[in-house]
């Protein structure tokens, strides 16, 4: 068994490596550029939404309770459309430093759980590939499989989700490589 304290360096370094890799993926490779589309008649639609006083959060439309879902009136609303989710952030410029900070914290959290699982299942001085296999699998559970629920439940396109899962595979391989390289000998 390897303690978490003995794995602080791979936890921190894997988070930094994943953070840098994600920055390269999104700012240099740019294959996610096509993931989002502009609303048709955006200015008109936004002007219609402003007076509603919407607060930040996730909205589902048309909204209904489970019991009302099968009523003829609700079925007609669903048939007429549009049907979807709307995520709203606070007004103002996008808080990129906050999002990047939360992303880095998430990378650290994944590193902690990868360290915990790998430290409990792989012995000190284990071969690189033994560490790589366990750490990579644990990291892929967090980075690669998590996005699938967005296509299942939130209507995100499968092409976008598959790109995110691919990113997750890259992050997992980098995490696994970092843990394998820095594993206590």
* Cα–Cα distance for residue pair 50/45, rounded to 1 Å: 9
Q: How far is CA 39 from CA 45, 90, 134, 146, 160, in A?
A: 8, 19, 43, 27, 17
What is the predicted pLDDT for the residue at 90?
A: 93
What is the predicted pLDDT for the residue at 42?
A: 95
Mean pLDDT within 8-13: 98
Segment 107-144, tens digit of pLDDT = 999 999 999 999 999 999 999 999 999 999 999 999 99
Q: Round the average pLDDT of the chain to a whole number and report it.
A: 96
Residue given tokens 């939404």 in the structure block: 49
């Amino acid at each position: 068994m390897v303690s978490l304290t003995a794995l602080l360096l791979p936890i921190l370094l894997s988070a930094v490596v994943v953070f840098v890799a994600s920055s390269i993926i999104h700012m240099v490779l740019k294959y996610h550029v096509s993931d989002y589309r502009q609303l048709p008649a955006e200015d008109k639609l936004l002007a219609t939404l402003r007076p509603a006083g919407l607060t930040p959060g996730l909205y589902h439309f048309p909204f209904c309770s489970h019991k009302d879902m099968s009523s003829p009136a609700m079925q007609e609303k669903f048939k007429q459309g549009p049907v979807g989710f709307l995520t709203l952030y606070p007004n103002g410029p996008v808080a990129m430093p906050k999002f990047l900070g939360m992303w880095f914290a998430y990378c650290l959290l994944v590193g902690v759980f990868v360290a915990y699982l790998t430290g409990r299942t792989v012995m000190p001085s284990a071969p690189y590939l033994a560490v790589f296999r366990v750490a990579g699998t644990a990291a892929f559970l967090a980075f690669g499989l998590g996005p699938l629920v967005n296509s299942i439940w939130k209507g995100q396109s499968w092409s976008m989700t598959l790109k995110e899962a691919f990113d997750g595979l890259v992050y997992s391989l980098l995490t696994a490589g970092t843990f394998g390289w820095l594993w206590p000998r």
